[in-house]
Structure 1
Amino acid sequence: MTETPNPNIVDADTLTGEMRPIRRVVIALGSNLGERFATLQGALGALADTPEVWVTGVSPVYESTPVDCPPDAQNFLNAVVLADTTLSAHRLIDRALAIEDAFERERSEVKNAPRTLDVDLIVVGDRRSDTDELRLPHPRAHERAFVLQPWLDVEQDAVLLDRGPIADLLAAIGTDGLTRRDDLVLETE
């Protein structure tokens, strides 16, 4: 099991010699269209195959009722992935969007429209960003049991930057509409 990396340790790019810190990242996966579980498994595989991304933990899968979605939206399957990376936050979001595209994610003007795949960066080390392209830490993670509970399952002492311990945040919002699916297990191989 990989420990949370020391932010003072850097990884030297073997081609350029550029020094880059290793950062802990938390990535949330969700799907409510098509073959939901197969899509989550494929997204996990794509993350694990990403150069400079090392998956260190995968949560159990949860089924959740839609939050702030259109009335006819179906339930989501959700999971959280922990990883270490030397990629910048912007390169990581580009990769997340490419993975969504590979699974035929369609963008819509409808807020929280159903989707084949959602890959959200929750935290990237201690990075903060408030641009249209990237908001870190994720601005609604502290309100989402389908992010907090899976994250807590793989990192009991997790803390959401600027918000506090995950356990406390989850206790405040509860887990209504969330069901652990022990019959569905994501594999990192």
Structure 2
Amino acid sequence: MREPVTACIGLGANLGEPVRTLQQALLAIGGLPRTQLVRASRFYRSAPVDAGGPDFINAVAVVETRLDAMQLLAALQGVEAAAGRERPYRNAPRTLDLDLLLYGAARIDSATLTVPHPRLRERAFVLLPLAEVLPDAVDARDLDAVAGQRIAPLPPASLPA
């Protein structure tokens, strides 16, 4: 049996009820086969980057998985589809976006998957929650580089139980 790999998943949504959608997505991720949700960051509100529409709600989840990277990607796309994800055009507003940010120490560059995520270090909405759950994965210089991007943690009281 495959050894477990620590993977990081970026979550984002800006249509419908994004907080509830991210809560449900975390439950779905924790229920994926041969995968265990280890921890998740707080939820953050951020301005869209290279996209339009309302603010996003974002988070990062850490999982231990025995799925290979392509199997995990397919499972995440299934969670997106179940949440009503459509892809009418690049960077369209979305009900749910799940990005495989890191898959252990793997470097993958295929037509369907690039890991580490190619824009990981350019986006505060990924770096801040990632630094919260996996501090060694984020360099302080990267955080400084995205300091001008609008992002703020949601207060815990604003999250439904």
Q: Same fold (TM over 0.5)?
A: yes
Spell out, residue by residue over 1:118-161, the C-alpha distance to the aligned partner (whole angstroms, 9 max, x if none). 00000101222222211111000110100000011122222xxx
Residue 77 in structure 1 maps to residue 57 in structure 2: yes
Please tell me whether the aligned partners of residues 122 and 145 of structure 2 are also in contact (alpha carbons under 8 angstroms): no
Greater radius of gyration (CA):
1
Between the aligned partners of 1:185 and 1:155, the Cα distance in structure 2 is 22
Report the CA distance between 1:186 and its aligned residue: 8.7
Residue 181 in structure 1 maps to residue 154 in structure 2: yes
Read off the aligned partner of 2:27 and give its amino acid letter: G
* Among candidates 129, 141, 149, match of residue 150 of structure 1: 129
Structure 1: gaps (5+ residues): 1-11, 13-19, 159-164
Aligned to 1:47: 29
Any residues of structure 2 matched to 1:1-189 within 5 Å, and which? 12=1, 20-70=2-52, 73-109=53-89, 111-158=90-137, 165-174=138-147, 176-183=149-156, 184=158
Higher deviation after alignment, 55-64 or 165-174? 165-174
Identity %: 40
Report the CA distance between 1:172 and its aligned residue: 2.1
Between the aligned partners of 2:101 and 2:160, the Cα distance in structure 1 is 19
Count matched residues: 160
Read off the aligned partner of 2:126 and give its amino acid letter: V
Spell out, residue by residue over 1:75-133, the C-alpha distance to the aligned partner (whole angstroms, 9 max, x if none). 00000001111110000000010000000001112x21000000000010122222221
- Which structure: greater helix fraction? 2
Report the CA distance between 1:52 and its aligned residue: 1.1
Report the CA distance between 1:169 and its aligned residue: 1.0
TM-score under structure 1 length normalisation: 0.80
Read off the aligned partner of 2:109 and give its amino acid letter: D
Read off the aligned partner of 1:115 and give its amino acid letter: R
Please tell me whether the aligned partners of residues 27 and 80 of structure 1 are also in contact (alpha carbons under 8 angstroms): yes
Report the CA distance between 1:22 and its aligned residue: 1.4
Read off the aligned partner of 1:94 and give its amino acid letter: A
Read off the aligned partner of 1:173 and give its amino acid letter: V
Q: Which has the higher contact order (CA 8 A, sep 6+)?
A: 2
Read off the aligned partner of 2:43 and give its amino acid letter: V
Higher deviation after alignment, 96-105 or 46-55? 46-55
TM-score under structure 2 length normalisation: 0.93
Give the alignment's Cα RMSD to 1 decimal: 1.6
Please tell me whether the aligned partners of residues 41 and 186 of structure 1 are also in contact (alpha carbons under 8 angstroms): no
